[in-house]
Every structure is written in structure tokens, then in C-alpha cells.
Amino acid sequence: MKKTILILTAAAGLAAAGAAGAQGWSGRGPSATLYDRPEFGGREVTISGPVENLSNYGFNDRAHSLRLQGRWRLCEHSDFGGRCVELTGNVPELQTMGLAERITSLEPIGGGYRPRPDPRPDPFPGPGPGGYGRGERGVEGDRTVFFPRPRVRGLDVAAGANGANTFCRNQGLGSAVYYDSNERAPRAIGPEGQVVGSSTVLRDLLCRRY
């Protein structure tokens, strides 16, 4: 089932949460402060970057209210799965949105933040739009090359004709001849090199050699 994303704007008017220091984020970027009681009461935790599972903060399925600086995506399940909602501003009672004690993962959306550079080299370097890069080597035939599980930079490739053709061409090959898209992954790489959330992904991809 495709993940449902609702675009909502929370009522603003309260001061934004103070700066936080989650690893991997710098500057005056977004922040999310979650509270385990309505009206910004009780225990709180402040996040300033993507969190795949709030269990790591001891805050899984605990939030009843929150204050947001910037725009955020909040999801019911880990790894940004399940129902997701995009919010900005302050929400004194998450129950009004059906999200009380249901938030497990969250990430900032849009500008105002930047990840620290990853010191690890790209394991599959190569040309491509948006830094897409080359994938793992396929099984070569006379006129086609077969990729049982296409991956780029350690991520599965989002399914679709655009993604399949982009992957093939970034391997120096022609267009895609065939692919399967019956499997899903919590994260995948899109045709522009962007990382996307839960998505169907390519399997058994067949690319023309020329």
C-alpha cells in the first residue's frame, strides 16, 4: 500500500523551539521539539535532523504536542514508513490530527539545513544527473546486461520506467528492456539521484547494450 502523505500547516503563534544539536546537522536549520503531554508539557526531546526511529531517543509513540521550526515530515512507523504528515509551526494537541502517541520517525523537508559531508567515498562512482553515480556491475549478455537487484550508493533504485532508463543509461547502456517492481524498500534512490522514502524498487532489470 502506498504511503499516504497529508500536507498540513499547524497553527503558528508560539515561539519556536530552541536550537538543538543532533549529529549531522549544522547552522540555523530546522528543529523539532516533541513533548509527551499536550500543550507542550512533560518530558521533551529536540531533534535537528532526520531520525529513523525515535526509540533511539526513548520517545517512540510518546509525543502529544510539538513545536517545529521549518517544515517536517512525521511518520507512524520507523524508516519513514506508514502514514506520514508534513507539518510546520506548533501543534498543542496531536490527537486532533490522529497522531498522538503515533510518531516513530521524522525528517526535515526543504531548505534551511544541510547534512555534513559524508567522509566515505562513493562505492559506485561514475557520471550521472544529480550525482546519481554508477550501480553495481551487471551480468553481461550479447545484447543486454542483467541486474538482478539494481543498487546505487548502497540503495535500491525506485521503480518506474524513468528510474529504470536512468539506471541503465548511467551504466553506459541503452534503455531498459524489462524490470520487475513487486518489492518495496523503506528508502530508495530516485532518477535524479535524490533519496526518497518508502517506495517500490527495481528488480530483475534488463538493459540494452546499445
Residue 114 within any structural domain of the chain: no
Which pLDDT tens digits describe the chain residue by residue (210 residues)? 444 444 444 433 333 333 333 333 334 678 999 999 999 999 999 998 898 899 888 899 999 999 999 989 898 888 888 788 888 899 999 988 888 999 999 999 875 444 434 433 443 344 344 445 556 677 888 889 999 999 887 788 999 998 899 898 888 888 999 999 988 988 888 887 788 888 899 999 999 987
Q: How many distinct structural domains can be found in the chain?
A: 2
89 shares its domain with 11: yes
171 shares its domain with 75: no
89 shares its domain with 46: yes
What cell does 191 get? 532518477
42 shares its domain with 97: yes
200 shares its domain with 151: yes
Residues in the chain, total: 210
50 shares its domain with 97: yes
Residue 123 within any structural domain of the chain: no
Residue 47 within any structural domain of the chain: yes
- CATH number of the domain enclosing 79: 2.60.20.10
149 shares its domain with 55: no
pLDDT at 34: 96
Residues with Cβ within 8 Å of 145's Cβ and at least 6 positions away in sequence, in order, are 138, 139, 168, 171, 173, 206, 207, 209
Domain that holds residue 14: 5-109
Give the residue carrying C-alpha cell 546519481: 132
- What is the pTM (predicted TM-score) of this model? 0.45
